[in-house]
Amino acid sequence: MNATRPRLQRAFGESRVVFAVRDGKTRLADLYQRDPCRVLFPDPEPGNPPEAVLLTTSGGVTDGDRLKMTVEAGPGTQAVAVTQAAEKIYRAAGSADHCGIDVALTVGKDAALDWLPQETIVFQGARLKRRTVASIAPGGSLLACEMVVLGRAASGERFTEGLLLDAWSVHRAGRLVWTDTLQVEGETPTGAGFGDANALATVIGVWETPEPHFETMRTLLENAEAVRAGVTSVNGVLVARLLGEATVVRRAVVRFLADFRGRRLPRVWHV
């Protein structure tokens, strides 16, 4: 008699955060959360906009898990959204299934949103499909950063088996202006630009007038140490990449974002 494989419990989490202007200030207007997704609202540094800190109480995700996160900055607001810690994507349990993460970012007219999650660590044998969709209204601006680490080099682990499918799309005034997909299946592609790197950070910027920001980004990246870095402009969307060893890339990202924004990253980045 064939043994039936036990059905493993899986998570279907969701969070939704909406900011709006009330009494002349950016305030929380709506909040929805379902386990294992949670949102915290720490007091920001004096003079900084409100912060939403997203986290998963499960401590990580694996194949079969589905997470959905939505952040909306209403017209005229200024807000920052981050994650409490690095997101861990655990080894798939011997199946061809994957874990799915969907992120939706909406920026209203004359609003500004910083989406600055900490790195996503994709363990050996993990399978992740993530899709991030950003919609920016006229006059709105978005600064977003995503960092992916393939394997746990500090534990002697290399990413030689698994799947990473990381897709981005940016819509400006209802029109698709940029889309990009990174797919790694099996071993990290040393022949496709990665070399001996195990981490990639992507910074995306959308502004009404991108040119001054482009020059600032380029100058800062020229001074980035021990990473390969560059920035380009596509349909008015600025796209910067930083590639290298994970701890070095994280250090470079922290410095780059702090210098570019003119203020420290939220406290969770420094814990």
pLDDT tens digits for range 181-221: 999 887 666 545 677 889 999 999 999 999 999 999 999 99
Q: Other CB atoms closer than 10 Å to residue 188's CB: what's the count?
A: 20
Is pLDDT at 1 greater than 60 in this prediction? Answer: no
The pLDDT tens digits for 29-80 are 999 999 999 999 999 999 999 999 999 998 889 888 999 999 999 999 999 9
Q: Using pLDDT thresholds of 50, 70 and 90, give the confidence band for residue 6.
A: low
Distance in Å from the first CA to the final CA of the chain: 53
What's the token pair of residue 136?
């920016």
Q: Identify whether 2 is part of a domain.
A: no
pLDDT at residue 62 in the model:
86
Owning domain of residue 258: 12-270
The candidate with the shortest Cα–Cα distance to 118, out of 74, 81, 69, 91, is 81
Q: Identify whether 232 is part of a domain.
A: yes
**Residue 84, CA distances (Å) to 20, 123, 139, 220, 257 in order:** 23, 19, 29, 26, 17
Rg (the chain; Cα; Å)? 19
248 φ, ψ (degrees, to nearest 5)? -70, -40
Average pLDDT over residues 9-22: 92
Q: Using pLDDT thresholds of 50, 70 and 90, give the confidence band for residue 97.
A: confident
Is pLDDT at 261 greater than 80 in this prediction? Answer: yes
Q: Which of 64-68, 159-163, 237-241 has the lowest mean pLDDT?
A: 159-163
Q: Which of 5-14, 187-196, 250-259 has the lowest mean pLDDT?
A: 187-196
Which of 3-7, 124-128, 152-156: highest mean pLDDT? 124-128
Dihedral (CA of 87, 51, 20, 203) sign? negative
Q: Identify whether 128 is part of a domain.
A: yes
**Percent of the residues in the chain that have a pLDDT greater than 70, as a whole number:** 93
Three-state DSSP at 225 gives: coil
Cα–Cα distance for residue pair 71/78, rounded to 1 Å? 12
Three-state DSSP at 158 gives: coil
Cis-peptide into 42, omega within 30 deg: no
Cα–Cα distance for residue pair 245/250, rounded to 1 Å? 9
Q: Identify whether 216 is part of a domain.
A: yes
What's the token pair of residue 72?
């909306």
Angle at 15 between CA 32 and CA 84, to 5 degrees: 120
pTM for this entry: 0.93
Q: Using pLDDT thresholds of 50, 70 and 90, give the confidence band for residue 130.
A: very high
Q: Identify whether 3 is part of a domain.
A: no
pLDDT at residue 81 in the model:
98
Cα–Cα distance for residue pair 176/178, rounded to 1 Å? 6
Place of tokens 């009404």: 208
Q: Identify whether 7 is part of a domain.
A: no
The candidate with the shortest Cα–Cα distance to 186, out of 96, 124, 119, is 124
pLDDT at residue 157 in the model:
79
Report the DSSP pairing between strands 120-122 and 112-116. Answer: unpaired
Q: What is the mean pLDDT of the chain?
A: 91
Dihedral Cα 255, 85, 51, 45, nearest 10 deg: -50
Q: How many domains are contained in the chain?
A: 1
Is pLDDT at 14 greater than 90 in this prediction? Answer: yes
Is pLDDT at 82 greater than 50 in this prediction? Answer: yes
Q: Identify whether 6 is part of a domain.
A: no
Q: Identify whether 4 is part of a domain.
A: no
pLDDT at residue 159 in the model:
83
Q: Other CB atoms closer than 10 Å to residue 175's CB: what's the count?
A: 8
pLDDT at residue 7 in the model:
58
Place of tokens 């470079």: 252
Q: Which of 1-10, 125-134, 147-156 has the lowest mean pLDDT?
A: 1-10
